[in-house]
Structure 1
Amino acid sequence: MRKADPRGRDVLRRAVAGQRRDVGVGAVLGMGHQAGEALVPALIGLAVEEGVVDRDAGGLLRWLATLAAVYVGLSLSFRFSALAGERASLSSAHGLRAELTGRVLAPEGGADDDRLPGELANIATEDARRVGAVTMAVVVAVAASTGLAVAAAVLLSISLPLGLLVLLGTPLLLWLGHLLSKPLERRSGTEQERAAHASGVAADLVAGLRVLKGIGAERAAVARYRHISHHSLHATLRAARAEAWQSGVVTVLTGSFLALIALVGGRLAVRGDIGLGELVSCVALALFLVGPLSEFSWVYAEVAQGRASAARIAAVLDAPPAVRTASPEADVPRPVAGGLRLRHLSYASLHDVDLDIAPGETVGVVAPDPADASALLRCLARRADPASGAVELDGTALTGPSLARTRAALLVAEHDAELFEGTVLQNVTAAAPDGAPVAAALTASGTDEVVRTLPDGGDTAVTARGHSLSGGQRQRVALARALAADAPVLVLHEPATAVDAVTEARIAAGTRELRRGRTTLLVTTSPALLAVTDRVVLLDGGRVTARGRHEELARTCAAYRTAVLA
């Protein structure tokens, strides 16, 4: 948390500076409102002095008219000041959400490492809202300071001791309020971290609800969430206690200060140092000061929470990229022939992997350990840089060209690919270039059968993540989307685990036919898919331990038989 604090302050400064127009307008109008509020007691005192003490009806009417004009001005100032401040707050929060979304979706990745989707959503909503609220706090702080300054000036004009009491006591009171906000800032940061983690776990459990029900793990999931939410509740209560303690102590200090002002004013009136109208003004000003001083208490709480949230936002924005690009202006070879080479590749569980795939070749990769498959896919998809070695496309290392150009040439379709809201055909054609073989992709993936069974065919609506479809239907639509993209090099990870054997065989034959002349890498243990490859590579223990055709390895390699046929 401390490491992100300096950048957290930068986030706060940018949030305020980015809305300087609305903040400036709100502050100026707020100053007018608070100045008017502070002048009201003085005007009332003058009206009492001339109308009651001096019995001057004309003077009374003049001051009452002035008082009415001031009320109109301060009312309009408050309305438009609040409007500008609220607009600044909402716009600032929206800008931060857009910036966070851009960072999370950035091609180089890294922002979502070790963070659940729900946690990121919480940062982009609640934390962004709290940082945005700091802009309104700035407007209120400037306005309240103006009110205090005008009140002090009026009291100085009435009585030097009263004015000095306000001028000297107010800074001390504000400093004490600042000190009291420190525990709230610390506990607010912890509260937001645990609340975000609880939100992330909840979203994760909801997304996997079908799986949890299928394996009968509902009780374990409930117990896990109850444990995490209990910690979140505890942190929230600690933050609430800190806020209540801070507000309570500040209220007591403020009340004591105001009582002191009233006491000094009363003694001055008894001694005859100030008149009746001036005493009324002093008492009314003491009551007025409750407002600005209470607003400072709110400002401290908002800034403390905003600082904690800004540090969390900064941690996401400053997350190091998962991959690097040596030369963003570089390009992959044109046209892409499709020659893929892994040269002494080491990453995570992979060790010194060498693999040459000729252009147009269909190669299967069998990885009994899912960690090996995951590491290979991360390197091929450019979601991670190898610890050593390289992945080359047509002789060019993938760390050179931009991520967008690399991923357009080499598409990795992972097993858990998600669908988005829209229609079936919109999902299939999402990445398809003009002239792509969409109809052939539907047939090769078996999605044509899915379309025929749906009520509206290809125009059937798909809900978020494709949950309105069955597992097999989702998998075939995702495969059709990958095939329709018509990438020069296509990597498919277990594309047919949720379909029956007949459909799996059809997908294997269709994929082979559609991808003829294009480089295809099948990372799978499916015998049907491996049977249509030109050759197969066995990754065992993070190393290449066997190569050959599927039939040959099934006869001669025990480890291969265990992985594929067991």
Structure 2
Amino acid sequence: MSGRDVLVRSVRGQARRCAAGAALGCVHQLGEALVPVLVGVVVDQAVAGRDGGRLTVWLVVLAVVYVCLSWSFRLGAKAGERAAEESAHTLRLAVLRRVLDARGGAEEGRLPGELANVATEDAKRVGAVAMALMSGAWAVAGITVSAVALLVMSVPLGLIVLLGTPVLLWLGHLLGKPLERRSEAEQDRAAQAAGAAADLVAGLRVLKGLGAQQAAVERYRRASRVSLAATLRAARAQSWQTGLVLALTGGFIALIALVGGRLALDGSLSLGQLVSAVGLALFLLGPLETFAWVNAELAQGRASAGRIAQVLATGPAVAGGDEQVPSPVRGELRLRDVRLDALAGLDLDVPAGRLTGLAVTDPACAEALLSCLGRERDPESGSVELDGVPLPRLDPAQLRGAVLVAAHDAALFDGSVAANVAPWEEEPAGGAADAPTVRAMAAAHADEVVRSLPHGAATGVGEGGRYLSGGQRQRVLLARALRAGPPVLVVHDPTTAVDAVTEAAIAAGLRDFRRGRTTLVVTNSPALLAVTDRVVLLDAGRVAAEGTHADLVRTSPAYRSAVLA
């Protein structure tokens, strides 16, 4: 996909509105061009001849023309603006669908703020191309009518318009090239600055804890300065383009007026025709200025379309199958000779309906395993299966409904505790939690968090959960994972920020809540591993030992070092 493809699809999707807006706009331009012609006729037939009756008739005709051109402009502009907004909205949805695609990939190498900038500012600029093209059609209609009228009055004047306008358009296109390049750079730098700002806000609590606020502010300041410099370069390019086009247009209009004056002096034009010629020359300022604006809009639209095309054309991070998830899901996971990053030929069986613990000597092994199970990445080699079906054959969206990977650093959203625990449910009146949510919060020991908050489960957690402590956020996140109730649940270090007593209570709650369903707990916490049915130790990317927590404590030095040290 290219930027041209994005532009073509964007305009084609609004073809009806664009056609209606262009037709109405052409009617408006026809009326605008007829006004100086009719004024010239009035001068020749009514004013010069002192005929009051004819003057009245032509004034009525002028009034009708003004009414028609006024309403056609209103309706045409309305259609154009609607087309631009609908086009931008469609592009925003397309970008969001790509970003939210279950196969992933769009976020690779891009900050969240950069993607947000593409979905808003770039989509808006590409949507504006629809209005720009309609305005260009209006300008063409106005120039064509003016040229025909001038040809009827005087062949030299008509030829000047017909031959000079294409030259002006070509020069305007050439002058728009630097603007296009600088506009693309401007949007790139603005997106990077937006991404840096979003990154800074998201990690503000950590930065304060490290005392690194000043370094982070300096990082954003540098990105902002680069963005400002790019914006100023684009603004200078636009001002030069606009100024030069207006100067060329002014010279063109002056030439028409000069030739018209000389023709009037030698008697080739009547007084009324001279008035019409000067009026048409002044009217041409509007269409020619419109062409300058259209060139600038198209230059910016092409640059933004290229950025949108890059996002839409990004390849998926994982292969997307189309098979349905087995129904019912037993929940048996099997990994054979899986190699990815720190995993070096991992063979692992997670039995259905059991609570399995997974301890690691290298945290990189846990990260790689979670990426495989969550379909964020596919193994370099080997296979991962759910109930005997390889994961790449399954629809990724359905798979994530069957196998939920709850990372320890997952995000909370701005809203109440209840809305964060069950975001897919309609929030009850007053923000109170429903019965299943209450049970999930009790199992995760998040009910204690609710009791400590001023408005209970209806209390807002703030953006990213910043109103909660680290331990409170972890308990709310675990409650959300439990409330989802997937057939297979994989949780990663859900209790690293809570005290030992709370951790023991969470371990018991997790075991009871998930009884009879497949659960994999990736952790080195003795309290959590002690309640599992079976524990697997990963060392050097492979299974080094397995058994109950008590057995491994007695028999495996590597396990004792990883879990009890």
Q: Same fold (TM over 0.5)?
A: yes
Q: Which residue of 1 aligns with 2:474?
A: 475
Query: Aligned runs of 1:316-335 on 2, under 5 Å?
Result: 316-326=311-321, 328=322, 330-335=323-328
Identify unmatched segments of 5+ residues in structure 2.
426-433
Across the two proteins, how many residue pairs are aligned to each other?
558
Q: Does 1:264 align with 2:263?
A: no
Q: Does 1:218 align with 2:190?
A: no
Deviation of 1:398 (Å)? 1.2
Structure 1 counterpart of 2:298, from 295, 303, 322: 303
Q: Which residue of 2 aligns with 1:77?
A: 72
Letter in 2 for 1:68: A
Q: What is the alpha-carbon distance in structure 2 between the residues aligned to residue 29 and residue 431 of structure 1?
A: 46
SS at match of 1:181: helix
Deviations 1:371-415 (A, max 9, x none): 332221111011222111111122221112222332222111111
Deviation of 1:339 (Å)? 1.8
Query: Aligned runs of 1:65-464 on 2, under 5 Å?
Result: 65-326=60-321, 328=322, 330-430=323-423, 438-464=437-463
Deviations 1:193-245 (A, max 9, x none): 11111101101111111111111110110111111111111111111111111
Q: What is the alpha-carbon distance in structure 2 between the residues aligned to residue 350 and residue 266 of structure 1?
A: 86
Q: Which residue of 2 aligns with 1:60?
A: 55
2:253–2:285 contact (8 Å) kept in structure 1: yes
Q: What is the alpha-carbon distance in structure 2 between the residues aligned to residue 361 and residue 281 of structure 1?
A: 90
Q: What is the alpha-carbon distance in structure 1 between the residues aligned to residue 415 and residue 209 of structure 2?
A: 27
Residues 388/459 of structure 1: CA separation in 2 closer, same or farther (3 Å cut): same
Q: What is the alpha-carbon distance in structure 2 between the residues aligned to residue 439 and residue 52 of structure 1?
A: 88
The answer to which of 260-269 and 145-154 deviates more is 260-269
SS at match of 1:499: coil
Letter in 1 for 2:479: A
1:322–1:384 contact (8 Å) kept in structure 2: yes
Identify unmatched segments of 5+ residues in structure 1.
none
Q: What TM-score does the superposition give when structure 1 sets the normalisation length?
A: 0.93
Query: Aligned runs of 1:32-43 on 2, under 5 Å?
Result: 32-43=27-38
Q: What is the alpha-carbon distance in structure 2 between the residues aligned to residue 458 and residue 101 of structure 1?
A: 30
Q: What is the alpha-carbon distance in structure 2 between the residues aligned to residue 52 and residue 244 of structure 1?
A: 44
Letter in 2 for 1:517: G
Q: What is the alpha-carbon distance in structure 2 between the residues aligned to residue 194 and residue 560 of structure 1?
A: 49
1:431–1:485 contact (8 Å) kept in structure 2: no
Q: What TM-score does the superposition give when structure 2 sets the normalisation length?
A: 0.94
Structure 2 counterpart of 1:27, from 22, 25, 28: 22
Q: What is the alpha-carbon distance in structure 1 between the residues aligned to residue 120 and residue 253 of structure 2?
A: 39
Q: What is the alpha-carbon distance in structure 1 between the residues aligned to residue 376 and residue 102 of structure 2?
A: 8
Residues 112/42 of structure 1: CA separation in 2 closer, same or farther (3 Å cut): same
Deviations 1:405-449 (A, max 9, x none): 3222211111122233443233323469xx996444222210121
Letter in 2 for 1:53: A
Q: Does 1:518 align with 2:528?
A: no
Q: Does 1:507 align with 2:500?
A: no
Deviations 1:87-143 (A, max 9, x none): 111111111112221221121222222221111111111011101111111111111
Divergent runs of 4+, >4 A: 435-439, 551-562
1:118–1:196 contact (8 Å) kept in structure 2: yes
2:205–2:466 contact (8 Å) kept in structure 1: no
Residues 437/83 of structure 1: CA separation in 2 closer, same or farther (3 Å cut): closer
Q: What is the alpha-carbon distance in structure 2 between the residues aligned to residue 184 and residue 332 of structure 1?
A: 51
1:436–1:484 contact (8 Å) kept in structure 2: no
Letter in 2 for 1:48: V
Deviation of 1:361 (Å)? 3.0
Deviations 1:168-208 (A, max 9, x none): 11011111111211111111111111111110110111111
Residues 39/431 of structure 1: CA separation in 2 closer, same or farther (3 Å cut): closer
SS at match of 2:225: helix
Residues 46/440 of structure 1: CA separation in 2 closer, same or farther (3 Å cut): closer
Q: What is the alpha-carbon distance in structure 2 between the residues aligned to residue 35 and residue 350 of structure 1?
A: 72
Q: What is the alpha-carbon distance in structure 1 between the residues aligned to residue 107 and residue 11 of structure 2?
A: 26
2:418–2:437 contact (8 Å) kept in structure 1: no
Deviation of 1:550 (Å)? 3.7
Q: What is the alpha-carbon distance in structure 2 between the residues aligned to residue 538 and residue 562 of structure 1?
A: 11
Q: What is the alpha-carbon distance in structure 1 between the residues aligned to residue 152 and residue 219 of structure 2?
A: 65
SS at match of 2:393: coil
1:436–1:486 contact (8 Å) kept in structure 2: no
Deviations 1:499-541 (A, max 9, x none): 1221112112221232233222111222222232334333344
Deviation of 1:165 (Å)? 0.7
Q: What is the alpha-carbon distance in structure 2 between the residues aligned to residue 35 and residue 333 of structure 1?
A: 66
SS at match of 1:272: coil
1:437–1:486 contact (8 Å) kept in structure 2: no
Residues 103/436 of structure 1: CA separation in 2 closer, same or farther (3 Å cut): farther
Letter in 2 for 1:242: A
Deviation of 1:555 (Å)? 5.5
Q: What is the alpha-carbon distance in structure 2 between the residues aligned to residue 551 and residue 197 of structure 1?
A: 51
Q: Which residue of 2 aligns with 1:487?
A: 486
Question: Aligned Cα RMSD in Å?
Answer: 2.2
1:431–1:481 contact (8 Å) kept in structure 2: no
1:26–1:85 contact (8 Å) kept in structure 2: yes
Residues 298/369 of structure 1: CA separation in 2 closer, same or farther (3 Å cut): farther
Letter in 2 for 1:312: R
Letter in 1 for 2:453: L
Q: Which residue of 1 aligns with 2:431?
A: none
Percent sequence identity over aligned pairs = 62
Q: What is the alpha-carbon distance in structure 2 between the residues aligned to residue 333 and residue 293 of structure 1?
A: 64
1:350–1:542 contact (8 Å) kept in structure 2: yes
Q: What is the alpha-carbon distance in structure 2 between the residues aligned to residue 214 and residue 547 of structure 1?
A: 38
Residues 280/211 of structure 1: CA separation in 2 closer, same or farther (3 Å cut): same
